[in-house]
């Protein structure tokens, strides 16, 4: 499958349907001399572009709307503009992004625009109470909005085991809890305030249950535990929380009845691709479902130079995500 975007390196695609088109909000990967490490220092991105297309099948040209936000414009940011997302509410578009603050701690910021392609004006401070990486914002049918976030190792989620307000520096780096019977750390969710620029209430931990035990997935279960790259979509009234397993390189999903969870592990959506990271979004467009993701084929395997791709996905009669269109017998 050919990359969708080839004029620059892009990763972590968050796709949305706005104004009848697909808009893609990716990270903008760039060349660097920083060597690969498990803290992710080589992902040294400094700006965001927005892309759009009118059709995925048949494919239409993908328009690069250019730089919509950059490090120098954001007063609180020191470096590393990682995986963004976008949302629409009350006539405004919101670009959410994680970055390191001047103390080197990841926070999540918001920038506001009038059009889906930007430009976006950043708030001068990060969202109060935000931390870690990979924001994914989901606006439910009743207009309530939620942000899912978090990422292990370089993403610093493991630094908050003592509470949302306590950054434990001893856990920095490629570390996470482990041990027999220890539950995996969950991603986080917060309801968004009506202005979409702050959290409305507490940050909660999301629980992902193992179907065979009905208990939280364990920390040592690296094939299924949450690592990073949260996404939420709704299919036939059920909430599908999807994510990357990081060091085992799967994209998985879990299904629940509430945007807060709990979610029960449902399976894999994508097997490992070329490159260490895997990250995605799921969107319905023109009556079909699409998985946006990235790999390193265009850069011939350079981990920090990724390219966005898209493939169609399907649901079977039980609501499981499958990669081939199920045969209908009736
Ligand atoms: O692009 C930088 C980081 O790599 C993202 O925040 C993670 O999800 C992983 O894709």
Written as one string, the DSSP assignment of 97-125 is: EEEEETTS-EEEEEEEESSTT---EEPSS
Q: Is 83 in the pocket of ligand 1 (CB under 6 A)?
A: yes
**Whole-number pLDDT of residue 176:** 98
228 is catalytic: yes
What the chain holds in terms of domains, given with CATH numbers, is: 9-322 (2.115.10.20)
Share of residues in the chain with pLDDT > 70 (%): 99
271 is catalytic: no
**Whole-number pLDDT of residue 329:** 52
Band (9; pLDDT cuts 50, 70, 90): very high
Name the residue with the closest Cα to ligand 1, atom 5. 83
On the question of pLDDT at 171 being above 50, the answer is yes
Mean model confidence pLDDT for the chain: 97
On the question of pLDDT at 323 being above 70, the answer is yes
* Bridge partners, 79 (sequence order): 100
**Whose CA is closest to 45, among 247, 294, 253, 268?**
294
Question: Ligand 1 pocket test: which of 8, 12, 79 has the largest number of ligand atoms within 8 Å of its C-beta?
Answer: 12
**Whole-number pLDDT of residue 328:** 67
Please give the distance, rounded to the nearest whole angstrom, from the Cα atom of residue 253 to the centre of ligand 1. 18
Counting atoms of ligand 1 from 1, which one is nearest the CA of 306? 1
Name the residue with the closest Cα to ligand 1, atom 4. 277
Name the residue with the closest Cα to ligand 1, atom 8. 229
By DSSP bridging, strand 204-205 and strand 208-209 are: unpaired
Classified as helix, coil or strand, 47 is: strand
**Whole-number pLDDT of residue 130:** 98
Note the pTM of the prediction, 2 decimals: 0.97
Q: Is 281 in the pocket of ligand 1 (CB under 6 A)?
A: no
Q: Is 278 in the pocket of ligand 1 (CB under 6 A)?
A: no
C-alpha dist (Å) from residue 174 to 99, 107, 287:
17, 18, 41
C-alpha dist (Å) from residue 228 to 180, 279, 280:
22, 8, 10
**Whole-number pLDDT of residue 1:** 86
Q: Is 228 in the pocket of ligand 1 (CB under 6 A)?
A: yes
Question: Considering 29, 176, 228, 295, which one is annotated as catalytic?
Answer: 228
Instruction: Tell me how crowded residue 44 is: count the other CB atoms within 10 A of its CB.
Output: 17
Model confidence pLDDT, tens digit, residues 96-152: 999 999 999 999 999 999 999 999 999 999 999 999 999 999 999 999 999 999 999
Q: What is the mean pLDDT of residues 205-217?
A: 98
Q: What angle do CA 283, 287, 289 make, to 5 degrees?
A: 35
Q: Is 295 in the pocket of ligand 1 (CB under 6 A)?
A: no
Band (330; pLDDT cuts 50, 70, 90): very low
Half-sphere exposure of 61 (CA within 13 A, CB side): 4
């Amino acid at each position: 499958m050919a990359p969708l975007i080839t004029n620059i390196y892009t990763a972590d695609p968050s796709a949305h349907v706005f104004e009848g088109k697909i808009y893609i909000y990716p990270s903008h990967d760039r060349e660097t001399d920083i060597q690969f490490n498990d803290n992710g220092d080589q992902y040294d991105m400094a700006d965001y572009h927005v892309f759009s297309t009118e059709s995925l099948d048949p494919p239409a040209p993908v328009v690069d709307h250019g730089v919509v936000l950059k490090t120098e414009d954001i007063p609180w940011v020191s470096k590393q503009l990682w995986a963004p997302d976008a949302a629409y509410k009350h006539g405004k578009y919101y670009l959410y992004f994680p970055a390191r603050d001047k103390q080197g701690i990841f926070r999540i910021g918001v920038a506001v625009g009038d059009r889906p392609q930007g430009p976006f004006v950043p708030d001068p401070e990060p969202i109060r109470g935000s931390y870690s990486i990979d924001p994914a914002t989901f606006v439910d049918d009743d207009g309530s909005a939620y942000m899912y976030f978090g990422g292990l190792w370089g993403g610093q989620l493991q630094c908050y085991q003592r509470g949302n307000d306590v950054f434990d520096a001893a856990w920095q780096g490629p570390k996470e809890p482990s041990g027999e019977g220890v539950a995996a750390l969950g991603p986080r969710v917060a309801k968004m305030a009506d202005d979409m620029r702050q959290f409305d209430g507490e940050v909660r931990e999301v629980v992902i249950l193992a179907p065979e035990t009905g208990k939280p997935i364990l920390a040592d279960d690296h094939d299924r535990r949450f690592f990073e790259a949260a996404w939420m979509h709704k299919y036939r009234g059920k909430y599908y929380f999807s994510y990357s397993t990081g060091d085992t390189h799967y994209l998985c999903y879990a299904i629940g009845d509430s945007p807060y969870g709990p979610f029960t592990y449902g399976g894999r959506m994508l097997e490992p691709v070329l490159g260490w990271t895997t990250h995605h979004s799921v969107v319905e467009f023109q009556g079909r479902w699409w998985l946006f993701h990235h790999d390193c084929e265009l850069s011939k395997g350079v981990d920090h130079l990724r390219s966005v791709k898209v493939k169609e996905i399907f649901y079977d009669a039980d609501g499981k995500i499958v990669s081939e269109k199920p045969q209908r017998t009736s």
